């Protein structure tokens, strides 16, 4: 896990009748890179092309010193050291869970310890003799994850691994994904269209639209940028890094963030635990003075930096709280009544804070 990082270089072009993919990316050789974008933006196609499953894709795919594809030729999928998890798991239906795990493990001639390690980490021991069609959706994804990891891949590709699961199953598998992120020691490309998954898992973020890269950078920086379509979505918001300070008898956590201290209910975390928080624009309102008589716990001083009109009489306000951006969604009427102008000091009143980890 401490070896020097292998940078990922991807330059791919693919033209279909109604769709063009034209991508150039240099990605960090560690951590989770989320590939995010609306459906039809080319996320899955990009992942499939990296895996070698899109023969029509031309360009370069290189990880560290390993070249899988360049102008001189392209390795077929079975010669690329990738692990891939598909949206619909695609477990081999005629093999048991163990048979599925051993299928790629045997062909990759990987170490026995690797097999045992992921069986243990993803809690698969009780499932080894089950058939794929007798597993729940969450169990299937765990098997698919382990099946990919035991081939000792240099790159893990996850194609919307949670999208076929309901909320409960999602919550069940997220801790496993976090274990994989912590322990796999290889770069992970994670395709998703769910902001909360990006905010929770991603270190790096690539934003795709219509087959092109709109932004690529550290996840929080890209998520909190105001100039991307992400900021205008109904669920726009910002993600903050926080550290747990304390937890009172009622389960209320004090969280230190670069923007100031926030409070939220949450499970018991030791002081010093790093967390990510998400504050949605629609949960933030503005006041010109501090209201200590309000029931709201979360008040942060900030400077208004920008006002952007939205459809439906709404305005999105951008704030700067000690160097951290915040978004607030308020009505056009409030802007007029409070005579809000960029540069004004305001109080951000935060109704809800979502803990992401």
Partner 1 sequence: MEAALPAWLLATWVTLKLAGLTTLILLLLGMPLAWWLAHTRSRWRLPIGAVVALPMVLPPTVLGFYLLISLAPDGPIGQLTQSLGLGTLAFTFHGLLLASVLYSLPFVVHPLQAGFTAIPRATLEAAATLRAAPIDRFFSVVLPLARPSLITASLLGFAHTVGEFGVVLMVGGNIEGQTRVLSVLLYDQVEAMDYADAHVLAAGLLLFSFALLLLMQWLGRRTAVGHD
Residues at the interface with partner 1 (CB under 8 A):
51-53, 76-80, 82-84, 86, 88, 90-94, 103-104, 107-108, 133, 147-148, 151
Contact, 142 vs 176, CB < 8 A? yes
Contact, 348 vs 335, CB < 8 A? no
Q: Which residue's CB is nearer to partner 1, number 76 or number 175?
A: 76
Taking the complex as a whole, how short is the minimal distance between the CB of residue 237 and partner 1, in angstroms? 34
Q: Which residue's CB is nearer to partner 1, number 92 or number 322?
A: 92
CA 307 → CA 213, 315, 316, 355, distances in Å? Answer: 26, 6, 6, 27
- The set of residues, in sequence order, having a beta carbon less than 8 Å from that of 307 and lying 6+ positions away, is 315, 316, 317, 318, 335, 340, 342
Q: Which residue's CB is nearer to partner 1, number 30 or number 151?
A: 151
- Read off the DSSP letter of residue 113: H
Taking the complex as a whole, how short is the minimal distance between the CB of residue 37 and partner 1, in angstroms? 21
Taking the complex as a whole, how short is the minimal distance between the CB of residue 105 and partner 1, in angstroms? 8
Q: Is 64 left (phi over 0), alpha (psi -120 to 50) or beta?
A: left
Taking the complex as a whole, how short is the minimal distance between the CB of residue 206 and partner 1, in angstroms? 21
Q: Which residue's CB is nearer to partner 1, number 53 or number 354?
A: 53
Contact, 173 vs 16, CB < 8 A? no
DSSP lists the bridge partners of residue 62 as 9, 67
Q: Which residue's CB is nearer to partner 1, number 37 or number 83?
A: 83
Taking the complex as a whole, how short is the minimal distance between the CB of residue 264 and partner 1, in angstroms? 40
Q: Which residue's CB is nearer to partner 1, number 80 or number 204?
A: 80
Taking the complex as a whole, how short is the minimal distance between the CB of residue 190 and partner 1, in angstroms? 16
Q: Which residue's CB is nearer to partner 1, number 86 or number 190?
A: 86
Taking the complex as a whole, how short is the minimal distance between the CB of residue 76 and partner 1, in angstroms? 7
Tally Cβ neighbours within 10 Å of residue 53: 16
CA distance 55 to 206: 23
CA distance 126 to 177: 19
CA distance 56 to 72: 15
């Amino acid at each position: 896990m401490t070896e020097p990082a292998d940078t990922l270089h991807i330059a791919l072009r693919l033209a279909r009748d109604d769709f063009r993919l034209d991508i150039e990316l240099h990605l960090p050789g560690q951590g989770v890179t989320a590939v995010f974008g609306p459906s039809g933006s080319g996320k899955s196609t990009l992942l499939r092309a990296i895996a070698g499953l899109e023969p029509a894709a031309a360009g370069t795919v290189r990880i560290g010193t390993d070249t899988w594809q360049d102008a001189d030729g392209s390795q077929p999928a079975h010669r690329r050291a990738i692990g891939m998890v598909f949206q619909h798991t695609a477990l081999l239906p005629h093999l048991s869970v163990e048979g599925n795990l051993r299928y790629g493990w045997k062909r990759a001639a990987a170490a026995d310890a690797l097999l045992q390690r992921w069986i243990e980490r993803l809690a698969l021991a009780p499932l080894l003799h089950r058939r794929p069609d007798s597993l729940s959706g969450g169990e299937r994804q765990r098997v698919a994850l382990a099946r990919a990891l035991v081939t000792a891949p240099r790159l893990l590709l996850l194609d919307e691994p949670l999208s076929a699961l309901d909320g409960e199953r999602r919550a069940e598998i997220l801790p496993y994904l976090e274990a994989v992120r912590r322990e796999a020691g290889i770069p992970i490309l994670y395709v998703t269209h769910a902001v909360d998954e990006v905010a929770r898992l991603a270190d790096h973020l690539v934003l795709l639209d219509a087959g092109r890269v709109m932004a690529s950078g550290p996840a929080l920086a890209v998520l909190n940028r105001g100039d991307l379509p992400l900021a205008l979505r109904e669920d726009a918001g910002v993600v903050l890094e926080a550290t747990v300070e304390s937890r009172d008898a009622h389960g209320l956590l004090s969280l230190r963030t670069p923007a100031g201290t926030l409070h939220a209910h949450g499970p018991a975390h030791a002081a010093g635990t790093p967390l990510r928080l998400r504050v949605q624009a629609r949960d933030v309102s503005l006041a010109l003075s501090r209201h200590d008589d309000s029931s709201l716990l979360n008040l942060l001083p900030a400077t208004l930096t920008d006002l952007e009109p939205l459809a439906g009489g709404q305005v999105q306000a951008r704030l700067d709280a000690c160097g951290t951006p915040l978004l607030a969604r308020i009505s056009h009427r409030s802007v007029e009544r409070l005579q809000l102008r960029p540069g004004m000091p305001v109080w951000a009143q935060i109704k809800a804070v979502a803990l992401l980890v």
